[in-house]
Structure 1
Amino acid sequence: MIRSTKTTPVAVLFGFLAFSALLGWTEYSNWRAEVGRAEMSLEQTAEAIAQHADDVIETSRLPLASLISEITDEEGHPHMAQKIASLITRQMKASPTLDTLSFIDAEGRMIATSAPRPPAGALYTDREYFQFHKAKPFPLPVLGKPIKSRLSGDWVWPISQKVLREDGSFGGVVVSTIRVKHFINFFRNFPVGNDGSFLIARGDGMVLARGPMAESLLGTNIAAHELFSRYLKAGTAGAYHYRSPVDRQLRIGGFYQSDRTGIVVLAAASKRQILVAWMEEARIRWIYASVLMAVSVLAASHWRQQLKRREESEAQLAAREAEFRLLAESSSDVISRFDENGIREYVSPSSAAILGIEPDRLIGKSVYAGMTEEAEATVREAAARLQIGSTHEKFLIKHVKPSGEEVWLETALSKLPEQNKASATRVVAITRDVTTHKVMHDQLDQLASTDDLTKLANRRSFNVRFEEMMKRARRSRTPLSLLMIDADRFKLLNDIYGHAVGDECLTQIAAVVRSCVKRPGDIAARYGGEEMAVLLTDADVGGAWTVAERIRVQVSALELPHTANLPFGHVTVSVGAATLPPEAPGDITAQALFTQADAALYRAKEAGRNQVVSANRTWYQIAKSAT
């Protein structure tokens, strides 16, 4: 049907409104994507701070056990204070995150401390941690309420542990402290803007730190805050929007609660700053959009003069196609369209920068061409889901440019509306380069799962893998073996040679363990202090014994000096082994297997050290006869 040119203004107005709506929806989607990226980044920041806090707290707890052991050994000795002070000095050198390390006796007197000038004659009976340990039988280290230190003058976290005399009576408190400013300085390493903030709280809601520093908040309880009353009840990690009660700013916050210490971290950025940064980035798109609108209006006017009797539907179709292409070509992402067979019909110019391939080399070719098997499988699965009813799919794949550069691409697939039931499925894909984010995420994961000293897996990642490997062993009906490895008389090694030598000793033992545990499915970890753990997949009692004995022999062959480790005179290890056989009952837990291996390690220590003992009784007898 041929229509009058009087309908052209209506068509132009409709096209303008449609384009404005499309532009508005696109910008709204871009803004939501920017908010999503900010939420993910803040959640990862909170997780990194929580893991750092866990490590600092764990490091601050370790010296307390050594200090209590020394106090117990030297009780009643005339030079007890000097010996404790000497041990404190060594512990402080090995623990750079500590502010102070002190021993307070049962009367509240400071017996020994790392502080250079402690106040003379001061009593510490008024301190909350002192009163807690005096009144309570709790024997483990406790993270207390932030206090202003009388020793350094700074706000600190006290980590304290009760000292018991030989007769079981209260013998005082050992205390290590961590500066609150340490975490404020650590937070400055994260890109959260000038108005960024963070908060660290105990699991019960007590505020431990806030950056920028807010002394009035320290020690207060925020358990009634929506973070605790609402969001943490739904999950241990996430993000939400809120108005700060401190500075009344609208903020986006990412939170994370540690499963090791219960510490809760909230990392937040100003919503206004995020909006301003996004608007700066979007300004170019808006300029292009304005030019596009002007061009569209001029083109419509020209069509009215030259094509007076063109069908309105044909004009609208051409305008919409032009708008789609201009919008796609102004986008920094790769926008492509392909048919039901995966043949590309259109590719935006940004493919040259992101894929390393000009768009005209891609049009008319299959989207699967040049993909790795893994990437092709991922894309075909997403396409199959679109075929059976899904309207939107997203996936992440690795892409190798013609130059050899590897990049990570995130692609969102959207199925175009079908004109009728018989029409073929057509899809629009938006692809962006997320390599920087992927690398940062992988680096954070690596840091979070590796022990800094030994380069073995840390205890947290070991425990996660332990549960996974137990489930896999039960499912596949294959054996799983656990080795617990402990350096013999390691405390004496530290006392005689110093902690630097002790650290080097652990590094060399870890190197031996790595050289003996090479299979892809196995894992070796530093479980704590001088203790290491190894999980061996598809390894029965004999296989576990062979690996354990190889580790023991190679460590002994290092002949690292240790005069106090008699009768050997050098560093040795004891190993306890436990195996989950294929026929074991399904209710045996990872903790039960660990308990068996730990008991075997204890028997190896009792039997004279420098040997391997299996938790299985029959094998234990064979092992004893072999040694």
Structure 2
Amino acid sequence: MNGGGFFERVRKEIGRRRRMSARLLIASSVITVLGFSAVCGSIMLDMRGNAQELARQTQENLASTISADINRNIEAYDLSLRSVVSNLALPQLAHVDETLRRLILFDHASIARHFGSIQVFDAQGNLTIDSATLTPEKLNRGDEPFVSAHRDDPTVGLYISRPMQHRGTFAIVLSRRISGTDGRFLGVVAGSIRFSYFKQVFSRLRLEPDDTIGVVARDGTLVMRTPFRPDVIGTNVMGAPGVRQVFSQRRGWYSGEGIIDQIPRMMVWADGTRPLVVIVGKSWSDVFRMWRHEAIRISLILLGLAIIVAGFTVFFIREIDRRAEAERRLEELATTDSLTGLINRRKFDTLIEREWRRALRMNTPIALLIIDADHFKAFNDGYGHQAGDQVLVGIALCIGDSVQRAGDCAARFGGEEFAVLLPGGSATAAQGVAETIRNKVAHWSVGQGDVTVSIGVASMTPAPGQHWPVLFEAADKALYAAKDLGRNCCVVAASRHDLTLAA
């Protein structure tokens, strides 16, 4: 490598190190951002799961509370119906007056604002006894399901009707069968729970606009719903996705869409074994509302972090570039002759040591040219130091123009002395380069003092135990031989003691 080639190599090495540093910095930044993203993503997933679990627990507690209230009242009312059925079986009841009979029959009857009166119907569905009056009206309900169900099936137990108009108000009817000692159907005892009770229960709750609460009978009949929709009350929802599992598991939840608004909701129930099952629905949008706000906040923080890391990465890459450029300039200053632009003696010694070892390892020749300007001191004294400097620059240009291979190296030793290292160069090839340099200098200096150069050439294949000063000594002796032969010539040292004139 000549002087320009050497510095090109330096620039490439510094560029390679800069690119490696930049890649490492970018990789570190990307890994940092991805690491934070993974951590934040894991946290957000945990938060999402916690939000879902909290919503499930809250909805289950709400469903459990409402279900307990509703079914406790149903059980209390059913106890009243059972008591009436039991009292009707007393034989003494036939021998007492109407007032006393009412007191005996309805002594345990539950009385509440939202409960209807208890009525007794015979086997044909005729009203015979009414807890609200001594003179019941003439009324036949034989075609109503709460009568026919017990007539057709003696094992029904407590029958809960579909929502219906009963005694002038919307209600559900609860009934029990009256059987004779021989199992014959003798009639039913029936009562009602008005819808005002359900509305009162739901009015105490603070619900979101998309929240729903449904009360479903075990046959799938929708008994009550909030928000209240009269057009869907009494419909069968057993075919809706997820509803069937409500009656197959004691408690649980499923994801489903509303039968009216098709809003995706978490549907939770607390006890699927009760006569009326309460299903509480909360929209997924409400379930994840707080989580969504936190996720957006964390995402914005992460985005800000990524922007900051990217900014610092760009800043540090620029600093690396500045540092690499500074290193390159320092390297040039430390290894360059300021006048000629060739490398200096200190760097040349490092390179020749390295090339010598390589030649020894690969068993290849290495050549050295030592060049000296003829009568330079006299020229310097006669024309001045500025003219002398111009001559040295011209010689350096001729040398650099003659050394073409990338591995060749040209250096200024100091004063008017130069050197060229030719790795892999034979004596013949080195002599050719030396002649080219000599002729170029002679041609260039015509009219500028007619400066000439003398060149000593040496080439050898390193042997074990030898060091590069052997090559330098041979080239130096060849240079002195060229001086003794009258200058402006090249001398090749065939060996340390065998010098050949080439001119």
* TM-score (normalizing by structure 2): 0.51
Q: 1:102 to 1:145 in 2, by over 3 A?
A: same
Measure, in 2, the Cα distance between the counterparts of 1:6 and 1:167.
96
**Corresponding position of 1:91:** 109
The equivalent position to 1:241 in structure 2, one of 239, 255, 259, is 255
The equivalent position to 1:204 in structure 2, one of 184, 202, 219, is 219
**SS in structure 2 opposite 1:126?**
coil
**Corresponding position of 2:97:** 79
Contact 2:122–2:188 (CA under 8 A) maintained in structure 1: yes
**Corresponding position of 2:170:** 154
In the alignment, structure 1 residue 15 sits paired with structure 2 residue 29: no
**Corresponding position of 2:85:** 68
Contact 2:222–2:235 (CA under 8 A) maintained in structure 1: yes
Kindly tell me the number of residue pairs found equivalent between the two proteins: 305
**Corresponding position of 1:514:** none
**SS in structure 1 opposite 2:238?**
coil
Contact 2:177–2:185 (CA under 8 A) maintained in structure 1: yes
The equivalent position to 1:136 in structure 2, one of 153, 165, 184, is 153
**Corresponding position of 2:71:** 54
Cα RMSD (Å): 3.7
**SS in structure 1 opposite 2:279?**
strand
What is the CA-CA distance between 1:197 and the residue it aligns to? 1.1
**Corresponding position of 2:442:** none
Contact 2:214–2:279 (CA under 8 A) maintained in structure 1: yes
**Corresponding position of 1:178:** 193
Identity across the alignment (%): 19
**Corresponding position of 1:254:** 268
Q: 1:63 to 1:230 in 2, by over 3 A?
A: closer
Contact 2:267–2:281 (CA under 8 A) maintained in structure 1: yes
Consecutive unaligned residues of structure 1, counting only runs of 5 or more, are 311-627
What is the CA-CA distance between 1:181 and the residue it aligns to? 4.4
Bigger Rg, which one: 2
**SS in structure 1 opposite 2:142?**
coil
Q: 1:202 to 1:13 in 2, by over 3 A?
A: same
The equivalent position to 1:111 in structure 2, one of 115, 128, 131, is 128
**Corresponding position of 1:509:** none
Measure, in 2, the Cα distance between the counterparts of 1:170 and 1:232.
30
Measure, in 2, the Cα distance between the counterparts of 1:5 and 1:237.
59
Contact 1:85–1:114 (CA under 8 A) maintained in structure 2: no
**Corresponding position of 2:501:** none
Measure, in 1, the Cα distance between the counterparts of 2:291 and 2:166.
47
Measure, in 1, the Cα distance between the counterparts of 2:110 and 2:297.
55
Measure, in 1, the Cα distance between the counterparts of 2:246 and 2:126.
44
Contact 2:87–2:104 (CA under 8 A) maintained in structure 1: no
What is the CA-CA distance between 1:37 and the residue it aligns to? 1.9
**SS in structure 2 opposite 1:154?**
strand
Which amino acid counterpart does residue 92 of structure 1 have in structure 2? S
Which amino acid counterpart does residue 57 of structure 1 have in structure 2? I
**SS in structure 1 opposite 2:109?**
helix
**SS in structure 2 opposite 1:194?**
coil
* TM-score (normalizing by structure 1): 0.42
What is the CA-CA distance between 1:70 and the residue it aligns to? 3.3
**Corresponding position of 2:52:** 35
Measure, in 2, the Cα distance between the counterparts of 1:70 and 1:174.
11
Contact 1:236–1:257 (CA under 8 A) maintained in structure 2: yes
Question: Could you list the per-position Cα deviations for residues 377-397 of structure 1 after superposition, in whole angstroms to 9, with x for gaps in the alignment?
Answer: xxxxxxxxxxxxxxxxxxxxx
Which amino acid counterpart does residue 53 of structure 2 have in structure 1? G
Contact 2:88–2:105 (CA under 8 A) maintained in structure 1: no
Question: Could you list the per-position Cα deviations for residues 490-547 of structure 1 after superposition, in whole angstroms to 9, with x for gaps in the alignment?
Answer: xxxxxxxxxxxxxxxxxxxxxxxxxxxxxxxxxxxxxxxxxxxxxxxxxxxxxxxxxx
Q: 1:111 to 1:131 in 2, by over 3 A?
A: same
Measure, in 2, the Cα distance between the counterparts of 1:277 and 1:136.
52
Which amino acid counterpart does residue 49 of structure 1 have in structure 2? I
Q: 1:172 to 1:195 in 2, by over 3 A?
A: same
**SS in structure 1 opposite 2:268?**
strand
Measure, in 2, the Cα distance between the counterparts of 1:86 and 1:98.
20
What is the CA-CA distance between 1:223 and the residue it aligns to? 3.4
Consecutive unaligned residues of structure 2, counting only runs of 5 or more, are 1-16, 324-503
Question: Could you list the per-position Cα deviations for residues 589-612 of structure 1 after superposition, in whole angstroms to 9, with x for gaps in the alignment?
Answer: xxxxxxxxxxxxxxxxxxxxxxxx
Question: Could you list the per-position Cα deviations for residues 231-285 of structure 1 after superposition, in whole angstroms to 9, with x for gaps in the alignment?
Answer: 654x3321111112221111111124444x4543321111122233433454544
**SS in structure 1 opposite 2:44?**
helix
In the alignment, structure 1 residue 266 sits paired with structure 2 residue 279: yes
Contact 1:102–1:174 (CA under 8 A) maintained in structure 2: yes
Contact 1:43–1:253 (CA under 8 A) maintained in structure 2: no
Question: Could you list the per-position Cα deviations for residues 100-138 of structure 1 after superposition, in whole angstroms to 9, with x for gaps in the alignment?
Answer: 322223343333435589994332112111112233333
Measure, in 1, the Cα distance between the counterparts of 2:252 and 2:284.
17
Which amino acid counterpart does residue 71 of structure 2 have in structure 1? D
Q: 1:179 to 1:144 in 2, by over 3 A?
A: same
Measure, in 1, the Cα distance between the counterparts of 2:135 and 2:21.
96
Contact 1:100–1:178 (CA under 8 A) maintained in structure 2: no
**Corresponding position of 1:222:** 237
Contact 1:109–1:123 (CA under 8 A) maintained in structure 2: yes
